[in-house]
Amino acid sequence: MATVSLKTLQKIYPNGFQAVHGADIEIADGEFIVLVGPSGCGKSTLLRMIAGLEEITSGDLLIGDRQVNDLDPADRDIAMVFQNYALYPHMTVYNNMAYGLRNRKISKENIDKSVREAASLLNLAEYLDRRPSQLSGGQRQRVAMGRAIVREPALFLFDEPLSNLDAKLRNQMRIEIRKLQRQLGTTSIYVTHDQVEAMTMADRIVVLNAGNIEQIGTPDEIYHRPASVFVASFMGAPAMNMMEGKLASGGIEIEGVGLLKSDHKLDANSNVSVGVRPEKVKLTTKANGITQPFIHDFTEELGAARLVHGRLGNKPFVVNLHQEDEVPQGELYATLSPDTLHIFDTETGKRLR
Amino acid sequence: MKRASFSNLWMPVLLLLPQVSIIFVFFYWPAFEALKSSFYLQDPFGFSGTFVGLDNYFTLFQNAEYLRISLFTLVFTVCVTFFSLALGLLFAVKADKVIRGASTYKTLLMWVYAVAPPVAGILGVSLFYQGHGLITQLFAFFGHEFVIGVNYYDTGFALIAVSIWKQVPINFIFFLSGLQSVPRSIREAAMIDNRSSSRRFWTITFPLLAPTAFFLLITNITYAMFDTFGVIDVMLRSEPGNNPMTLTYKVYVDGFRGGDLGGSSAQSVILMILVLALTIFQFRLIERRIHYT
CATH number for position A92: 3.40.50.300
Mean pLDDT to the nearest integer, B93-104? 79
Assess whether A208 and A249 both reside in one domain. Answer: no
User: How many residues belong to chain B?
Assistant: 293
Question: Using a CB-CB distance cutoff of 8 angstroms, which residues of chain B are in contact with residue A133?
Answer: 291-293
| Min distance A210 CA to chain B CA atoms (Å) | 24
Q: Please answer yes or no on whether B293 and A90 come within 8 Å at the CB atom.
A: no
Question: Is residue A97 in a domain?
Answer: yes
Assess whether A321 and A340 both reside in one domain. Answer: yes
Q: How many CA atoms lie within 13 A of A93 on its CB side?
A: 27
- How does strand A32-36 pair with strand A204-209? parallel
Question: Is residue A353 in a domain?
Answer: no
Report the candidate in A225, A236, A221, A223 with the shortest Cα–Cα distance to residue A278: A236
Assess whether A32 and A118 both reside in one domain. Answer: yes
Question: What gap in Å lies between CA A284 and CA B178, rounded to an integer?
Answer: 67
Assess whether A225 and A322 both reside in one domain. Answer: no
Given a cut of 80, whether residue A321 has pLDDT beyond it is yes
Question: Is residue A120 in a domain?
Answer: yes
Q: How many CA atoms lie within 13 A of A53 on its CB side?
A: 22
Assess whether A224 and A264 both reside in one domain. Answer: no
Question: What gap in Å lies between CA B72 and CA B290, rounded to an integer?
Answer: 34
Tens digits of residue pLDDT in B254-284: 888 877 888 888 999 999 998 888 888 877 8
Question: What gap in Å lies between CA A153 and CA A73, rounded to an integer?
Answer: 12
Domain span holding position A121: 4-234
Assess whether A221 and A120 both reside in one domain. Answer: yes
Q: Please answer yes or no on whether A82 and B189 come within 8 Å at the CB atom.
A: yes
At B245 the pLDDT is 86
Tens digits of residue pLDDT in A236-245: 888 999 998 8
Given a cut of 60, whether residue A121 has pLDDT beyond it is yes
Question: Using a CB-CB distance cutoff of 8 angstroms, which residues of chain A are in contact with residue B205?
Answer: none
Given a cut of 70, whether residue A253 has pLDDT beyond it is yes
- What global pTM score does this model have? 0.80
Q: Please answer yes or no on whether B195 and A89 come within 8 Å at the CB atom.
A: no
Tens digits of residue pLDDT in B146-180: 777 777 888 888 889 989 988 988 899 899 989 98
Question: Using a CB-CB distance cutoff of 8 angstroms, which residues of chain A are in contact with residue B196?
Answer: 103
Evaluate whether A292 touches A256 at the Cβ level (below 8 Å). Answer: no
Given a cut of 70, whether residue B287 has pLDDT beyond it is no
Tens digits of residue pLDDT in A30-56: 999 999 999 889 999 999 999 999 999
Question: Using a CB-CB distance cutoff of 8 angstroms, which residues of chain A are in contact with residue B188?
Answer: 51, 53, 73, 80, 82, 86
Question: Is residue A310 in a domain?
Answer: yes
Question: Does any CB of chain A come closer than 8 Å to the CB of residue B191?
Answer: yes
Residue of B nearest to A99 (CA): B193
Tens digits of residue pLDDT in A6-30: 999 999 998 889 999 989 999 999 9
Given a cut of 90, whether residue A128 has pLDDT beyond it is yes
Assess whether A198 and A312 both reside in one domain. Answer: no
Rounded-to-5 percentages of helix, strand, coil across chain B:
75, 0, 25
The model's confidence at residue A87, banded by pLDDT at 50, 70 and 90, is very high
Report the candidate in B241, B252, B265 with the shortest Cα–Cα distance to residue B65: B241
Q: Please answer yes or no on whether B290 and A90 come within 8 Å at the CB atom.
A: yes
Stronger pLDDT, A173 or B83, i.e. the higher one: B83
The residue out of A234, A255, A280 marking a domain boundary is A234
Percent of chain A at pLDDT exceeding 90: 63
Percent of chain A at pLDDT exceeding 70: 100
Question: What gap in Å lies between CA A95 and CA A294, rounded to an integer?
Answer: 63
Q: Please answer yes or no on whether A80 and B194 come within 8 Å at the CB atom.
A: no
Question: What gap in Å lies between CA A219 and CA A201, rounded to an integer?
Answer: 9
Q: Where are the alpha helices (DSSP H) in B184-253?
A: 184-193, 197-200, 206-222, 229-236, 247-252
- Separation in Å, CA A231 to CA A275, B20, B287: 11, 71, 56
Tens digits of residue pLDDT in B173-192: 899 989 988 899 999 999 99
At B102 the pLDDT is 74
Assess whether A249 and A195 both reside in one domain. Answer: no
Assess whether A162 and A88 both reside in one domain. Answer: yes
Given a cut of 60, whether residue B290 has pLDDT beyond it is no
Question: What gap in Å lies between CA A202 and CA B76, rounded to an integer?
Answer: 64
DSSP string, A137-204: HHHHHHHHHHHHHHT--SEEEEESTTTTS-HHHHHHHHHHHHHHHHHHT-EEEEEES-HHHHHHH-SE
At B3 the pLDDT is 65
Question: Is residue A352 in a domain?
Answer: no
Domain with residue A280: its CATH number is 2.40.50.140
Evaluate whether A71 touches A220 at the Cβ level (below 8 Å). Answer: no
Bridge partners (DSSP) listed for residue A275: A242, A342
At B286 the pLDDT is 67
Between CA A209 and CA A219, with CA A214 as vertex, the angle to 5 degrees is 110
Helix or strand or coil: residue A312? strand
Question: Is residue A351 in a domain?
Answer: no
Assess whether A340 and A267 both reside in one domain. Answer: yes
Question: Is residue A58 in a domain?
Answer: yes
Between CA B177 and CA B244, with CA B85 as vertex, the angle to 5 degrees is 145
- Separation in Å, CA A230 to CA A70, A215, A234: 34, 10, 6
At A135 the pLDDT is 92
Mean pLDDT to the nearest integer, A147-167? 91
Question: What gap in Å lies between CA A304 and CA A290, rounded to an integer?
Answer: 27
Q: What is the DSSP letter of B223?
A: I
At B229 the pLDDT is 87
Question: Using a CB-CB distance cutoff of 8 angstroms, which residues of chain A are in contact with residue B99?
Answer: none
The residue out of A213, A234, A255 marking a domain boundary is A234
In sequence order, the 6+-apart residues with CB closer than 8 A to the CB of A5 are: A25, A26, A27, A60, A61, A62
Mean pLDDT to the nearest integer, A205-220? 94
Question: What gap in Å lies between CA A105 and CA B66, rounded to an integer?
Answer: 53
At A229 the pLDDT is 93
Between CA B241 and CA B249, with CA B245 as vertex, the angle to 5 degrees is 95
At B278 the pLDDT is 85
Q: What is the set of domains in chain B, with CATH numbers?
A: 74-246 (1.10.3720.10)
**What's the burial of B38, exposed, middle or buried (CB within 10 Å: 0-12/13-18/19+)?**
buried
Amino acid identity, position A124: L
Helix or strand or coil: residue B22? helix
Question: What gap in Å lies between CA A118 and CA A145, rounded to an integer?
Answer: 9
Other residues' Cβ atoms within 10 Å of the Cβ of residue B1: 3
The model's confidence at residue B50, banded by pLDDT at 50, 70 and 90, is confident
Q: Is the dihedral of CA A87, A88, A89, A92 positive or negative?
A: negative
Q: Please answer yes or no on whether B195 and A84 come within 8 Å at the CB atom.
A: no
Question: Is residue A37 in a domain?
Answer: yes
Q: Please answer yes or no on whether B189 and A147 come within 8 Å at the CB atom.
A: yes
Question: What gap in Å lies between CA A166 and CA A164, rounded to an integer?
Answer: 7
Other residues' Cβ atoms within 10 Å of the Cβ of residue A60: 13
| B240: preceding bond cis by omega (within 30 degrees) | no
Evaluate whether A20 touches A9 at the Cβ level (below 8 Å). Answer: yes
At A214 the pLDDT is 94
Mean pLDDT to the nearest integer, B29-33? 89
Assess whether A190 and A305 both reside in one domain. Answer: no
The model's confidence at residue B293, banded by pLDDT at 50, 70 and 90, is very low
Question: What gap in Å lies between CA A81 and CA B3, rounded to an integer?
Answer: 46
Number of domain units in chain A: 2
Evaluate whether B254 touches B264 at the Cβ level (below 8 Å). Answer: yes
Given a cut of 60, whether residue B292 has pLDDT beyond it is no
- Separation in Å, CA A296 to CA A92, A258, A274, A306: 59, 18, 21, 13
- Separation in Å, CA B151 to CA A239, B79, B130, B137, B147: 85, 19, 11, 16, 6
Report the candidate in A236, A216, A248 with the shortest Cα–Cα distance to residue A6: A216
Mutation site for A-interface testing, chosen from B193, B200, B212 by largest number of A Cβ within 10 Å: B193
Q: Please answer yes or no on whether B183 and A86 come within 8 Å at the CB atom.
A: yes
Evaluate whether A157 touches A51 at the Cβ level (below 8 Å). Answer: yes
Evaluate whether A320 touches A238 at the Cβ level (below 8 Å). Answer: yes
Mutation site for A-interface testing, chosen from B192, B203, B206 by largest number of A Cβ within 10 Å: B192
Q: Please answer yes or no on whether A74 and B192 come within 8 Å at the CB atom.
A: yes
Question: Does any CB of chain A come closer than 8 Å to the CB of residue B185?
Answer: yes
Evaluate whether A208 touches A24 at the Cβ level (below 8 Å). Answer: no
Mean pLDDT to the nearest integer, B106-130? 80
Q: Please answer yes or no on whether B195 and A75 come within 8 Å at the CB atom.
A: yes
User: How many residues belong to chain A?
Assistant: 353
Nearest to A89 among B188, B191, B208 (CB): B208
Q: Please answer yes or no on whether A89 and B191 come within 8 Å at the CB atom.
A: no
- Buried-state track B123-157, b at ≥16 Cβ within 10 A, e below 16: bbbebbbeeebebbeebeeeeeebebbebeebbbb
Assess whether A116 and A211 both reside in one domain. Answer: yes
At B71 the pLDDT is 92
Average pLDDT of every residue of chain A = 90
At A1 the pLDDT is 67
Given a cut of 90, whether residue B125 has pLDDT beyond it is no
At B280 the pLDDT is 86
Nearest to A53 among B191, B196, B204 (CB): B191
The residue out of A234, A266, A281 marking a domain boundary is A234
Other residues' Cβ atoms within 10 Å of the Cβ of residue B74: 13
No. of helices (H) and no. of strands (E), chain A: 8, 20
